[in-house]
Amino acid sequence: MNIIRDIIHTKEIIVCAGSGGVGKTTTAAAIALQAALEGKKTAVLTIDPAKRLAASLGLKELSDEPSKVNSRKFTAAGLEPEGELHAMMLDTKSTFDRVVTRYAPTPEQAERIINNRFYRNISGTLSGTQEYMAMEKLYELHADGGYDLIVIDTPPTRNALDFLDAPKRMTDFFESRVLRWFLLPYMKGAGGFMKVANVAATTFLRVVKKIVGAEVLEDTAEFFGNLEGMYEGFKQRARDVAALLKSDATSFVVVTSPALDSVAEATFFATRLNESGLPFGALVVNRVHPHFGDDIGVKPRQISKLDKGDADARLLAKLLDNHEAFMRVVRLEERNLEALARKVPRHRWARVPYLEQEAVDFSGLVAISDELFAG
Amino acid sequence: MLLDEFLDPKILIVSGKGGVGKTTVSAALALVAARHGRKVCIAEVDQKGTLPRLFGGGALGYDPAEIAPGVWGMNIVPEQALAEYLDVQYHMKRVSKVFTNTHFVDYITTAAPGLKDILVLGKIWFLEQGRGGGAQDFDTIVVDAPAAGHMLTFLSAPMGLSDALRVGPVRRQSDWLVEMLRDAKRSRVHLVTLPEEMPVSETLETSEALTHKIGLNPGAVFANAVYQQLLTQDEQETLDAVMGDANPRELKIAAAEVGLRLDKEDLNALVRYAHFLEARRSIQAKHLRALRKGLEDPVVELPFLFSAGLALPDIETLADVMEEKVAEL
C-alpha cells in the first residue's frame, strides 16, 4: 500500500514539515484532498497566507475558521468525494488572544494583557510564536473532534527544526529569571528589591532605556507582571500539545526536494524526530526531475561531428546534449537522495516529479495528489 | 549598463523569498565585483551555513574571513552587533557578555521590534564607513538579506526608529542609516526570484513596497533558474513532425552517420526530455511575462544550471552570465 494512503487511513493528524520552498503547502493540500476523496472529513490548516491555494480550492480567501470546499470543484474534475475537504489559515494573533483569555484568572487581566503593547508585538516578531500558535490551533481543532483528519503545514522557517523547539522556547521566554532581574526597577511593588539590583543592571538599563525608551521597558514589565500566575497553564498546555504530537494519532510527513541543502535538512529532521520520540510517517520527495530512458553513452566527438552536419544532425546534437544535461541532474539528484535513503528507507518515500503543469488550479492539485498516492 | 556603474554603490543588498537562490545570486554578484578589482565582503544575516557551503569552507563568524580570492565572508549576528555597539559606544564590554547567552536580546527586540534590524544595519554602516580598521576596509559589501517577507521590515526599521525618537545619539545614528539606505550612490537593493507563480507575485509586491513605500533604490531583479531555449522554431517543427513516428528514421540515420546506434527507447527519451523542457519553459515564460509587465526595474535572467546543489564552478558560471547580461541592460 502507498505509504501516504496508509497514513491517512490510520492517523488523525498529519504534520507536514520541511525547509522553505520545497512545496509544503501544496503537499499538505494534496494529501488532504485525497483523504477527502477517500471518505475522510478532512481539514487542511495552512500557516502561509496562501492566496493561490485558496484560489485553487475555489475559496475567496482562507480565514481563521474552516471553509468547506464546494463539492462542485470535485465533480468538475470528474471526482466524487466520499468525505469533505475544509481549508483554513492560522491567525496567530487571535489564537494567542484565546490562549490568554483561557488562562487569565480574570477577564480584566486578560484584557490588560491583550492591550499591552509588548504583547501586541509578540505575535508578530517573537521567534517561535507562530509555531507555538500553530500547535495550539491544531490542538483545539483536534480536541473539538469535528474532523477525521487534520493536515497541517508548518511555518516557513529557515530551519525546519525550529518549530519542534518552539513551545519550549516560548515557555522559557516567559519564565526567564534574567529578564525579571533586569526589569525589577520597573515592576510595581518591587521597591524593596531595588537594593538587590546591582550596579551592572542599572547601568545597563540606563543604556537600554536610552535606546528603546522608558515606555517600552514599562510595557514589558507590565506584561510580565500580568502574566504572573498564568505560567502553569501555558506549560500544562505545552505538555499536552507535546503529548498529542507524540501519540499514535499523529504522523509527521517530511517534505524535501532533491537539492543538497534540503536533503541535508530533511535527513537531520527525520533523525531529530526519532530522537524526540515524535512519530515519523513518510518522506515526500518533491520537485524531482523526471527520469526518461538511460544513458546513451554519446561521446563529445560524435556531438561535434553532428553539429557540423545537416539540419537533422544538428537537431539530434541538441537533443543529445539536452538529454545528457537532464541525465546529469537526475544522477546528481539520485546521489543526494542516496544519502537520504540511508536514513529513511525508500519504502517510506513518495516521489513527486516536476510535472508539465503547475498546481495553480484544482486539477493541478489533483495531478500532484495522483503522484503522491501512486502505487 | 556599465558594470562599474552597476557595482558602484558600496552596499548591494540582495533579497528574495526563501528557496529562490538568494545566496547563490549574492555569491555570484560578489564574484563579479571581485573580478572587477574590488575587495568584497559578503555578509550573511543571522544565518547558518548556505554561503560557506557554496565556497566549500566552514561556518562563518562575525569577523570577516577570506573565502575566495578577493572575497571575504561574515555572518552578522544581532547579539554580537549589540555587544560591539555597546563596547564601541559605551565601553560596556563586560556587561554585554551577560546577555549574549540569554534571551535578553529576544526580550528587547520583542519590546522594540526592528531593533535587531537596526543592529544589523548598524554593523553594515560601520563596515561601509571603514570603521572596522584597514583589514575590514571593503569596496563592496554584498548583503545576503533576510527573506523577502521580513526584508521590508528589516529595511524600514531605521525609518521607524527615526520617527519614534526625537533627539539623542540613537536618533542621530538611525538617521545615518536612513541616509545610507536612501542614497543611490551608497546602496541598492537587488531582488531574486524564480519564474514561478508565488515567487513572482511576491517579488512584484516587494518591489512596489521598496520603491514607493520605503523609498529605497531598486537595482535589478534576478530571475533565477530559467530554462534556456533548446530548439529553433524550424527544429521544433521537424521534431513535432517526427514525434508521431514512434521510431523517427531521420534521427536514426543522422546518428548512424557518426557511429551512434540509437534504439527506440533512446529516441523516445530524447524526445521526451525535449518536450519536458519545452513544457517547463512555457510555464516559466508565462511567469516571466507577468514579472516584466508588473515591474519597473530591469529583469536579469539567470540560467537553470543542470546540477543539484551548486558549488563554486556553478557560481563562476552564473557570474559570467551576470556580467554579460548586466552589460546589455
Query: Is the alpha carbon torsion for A140, A143, A145, A148 positive or negative?
Result: positive
More confident call, B162 vs A147 = A147
Least confident of A256-265, B27-36, B44-53, B275-284: B44-53
pLDDT of A160 = 56
For residues A318-337, average pLDDT: 93
Cβ-defined contact of A302 to B260 (cutoff 8 Å): yes
Largest Cα–Cα separation, chain A = 95
Res. A39 pLDDT band, cuts 50 70 90: very high
Cβ-defined contact of B104 to A298 (cutoff 8 Å): no
Cα–chain-centroid distance for residue A76?
30
Cα–chain-centroid distance for residue B30?
10
Is residue B312 within 8 angstroms of chain A, CB to CB? Answer: no
Residue A112, C-alpha cell as written in the block: 490588560
Of B102, B169, B273, which is closest to A178 when you measure between CB atoms? B102
Q: Quick one: residue A153, left, alpha or beta (phi over 0 = left, psi -120 to 50 = alpha)?
A: beta
| A-chain residues near B48 (CB < 8 A) | 159
pLDDT of A171 = 72
| A-chain residues near B268 (CB < 8 A) | 292-293
pLDDT tens-digit readout, A196-243 = 445 556 666 676 676 667 777 778 788 888 887 787 888 888 888 889
Beta strands A41-46 and A84-89 are: parallel
Question: Does pLDDT of A16 surpass 90?
Answer: yes
Between residues 120 and 179 of chain B, which touch chain A (CB distance below 8 Å)? 147, 164-165, 168-170
Task: Return the percentage of chain B with pLDDT > 70, whole number.
Answer: 87
pLDDT tens-digit readout, A83-134 = 999 999 988 888 889 889 988 989 999 999 999 887 877 766 566 677 788 8
Between residues 173 and 212 of chain A, which touch chain B (CB distance below 8 Å)? 173, 176, 178-179, 182, 200, 203-204, 207-208, 210-212
Question: Taking the model in full, what pTM does it have?
Answer: 0.84
Q: Tell me the average pLDDT of chain A.
A: 84
Cβ-defined contact of A210 to B170 (cutoff 8 Å): yes
| A-chain residues near B239 (CB < 8 A) | 315, 319
Is residue B261 within 8 angstroms of chain A, CB to CB? Answer: no
Q: How far is CA B141 from CA A219, B44, B52, B125, B128, in A?
A: 37, 11, 16, 10, 7
Res. A59 pLDDT band, cuts 50 70 90: confident
Distance from CA of B111 to the nearest CA of A (A): 5
Is residue A236 within 8 angstroms of chain B, CB to CB? Answer: no
**How do the domains of chain B map onto residue ranges?**
3-228+295-328
Q: How far is CA B175 from CA A168, B118, B131, B156, B213, in A?
A: 38, 11, 18, 12, 17
Q: Quick one: residue A23, left, alpha or beta (phi over 0 = left, psi -120 to 50 = alpha)?
A: left
pLDDT tens-digit readout, B59-89 = 888 999 999 999 999 999 888 888 888 788 7
DSSP reduced 3-state for A205: helix
Of B19, B103, B277, which is closest to A176 when you measure between CB atoms? B103
Cβ-defined contact of B164 to A213 (cutoff 8 Å): yes
Q: Tell me the average pLDDT of chain B.
A: 86
Q: What is the DSSP letter of B186?
A: T
For residues B205-213, average pLDDT: 88
ipTM score assigned to the predicted complex = 0.86
pLDDT of A73 = 92
pLDDT of A196 = 46
Strands in B218-226's sheet, in edge-to-edge order, are B65-68, B71-76, B40-45, B140-144, B11-15, B187-193, B218-226, B299-303
| CA-CA-CA-CA dihedral for A78, A80, A84, A88, to nearest 10 | -10
For residues B43-56, average pLDDT: 80
Q: How many CB pairs under 8 A join A and B?
A: 195
Sequence-distant contacts of A137-145: CB under 8 A, at least 24 apart: A137/A45, A137/A90, A137/A95, A138/A13, A138/A15, A138/A45, A138/A241, A138/A244, A139/A237, A139/A240, A139/A241, A139/A244, A140/A95, A140/A98, A141/A43, A141/A45, A142/A12, A142/A13, A142/A244, A142/A249
Cβ-defined contact of B165 to A213 (cutoff 8 Å): yes
pLDDT of B107 = 67
Give the CATH class of B3-228+295-328: alpha beta
Cβ-defined contact of A326 to B273 (cutoff 8 Å): yes
